Amino acid sequence: MTEAERTEPSYSQAVSRLEEILERLERGEVDIDELSAMVEEAAGLVSLCRKKLTQAEMQVRRITERLEREREEPPTQVPSTENTPEEELGEEEVPF
């Protein structure tokens, strides 16, 4: 995990913060001095949410494609690695 990933908010945290900003803006609680900073923060949060959604979508697509390939491929038989009792003892089968 990179330093940015450790410090950036989760998707849920980003959405919650966006909702807080929106509520403050709708209630008129933001003065003109705060407005620019809040809009900048909101824009950054929207970009972060889009990035996280894109990453999740790509991950789900990869998993789904892998599962589809597994479903379409015939199961391969893995050769048995278990030895018969004779092989374990080093005895060869004698045909008589």
Alpha carbon of 68 to those of 56, 58, 65, 73: distances in Å?
18, 15, 5, 9
Residue 80 is predicted with a pLDDT of 61
pTM for this structure? 0.64
Residue spans per domain, the chain: 3-75
CA angle 67, 52, 1 (to 5 degrees): 90
| The CATH fold of domain 3-75 | Helix Hairpins (1.10.287)
pLDDT in tens, 32-83: 889 999 999 999 999 999 999 999 999 999 999 999 998 887 766 666 666 5
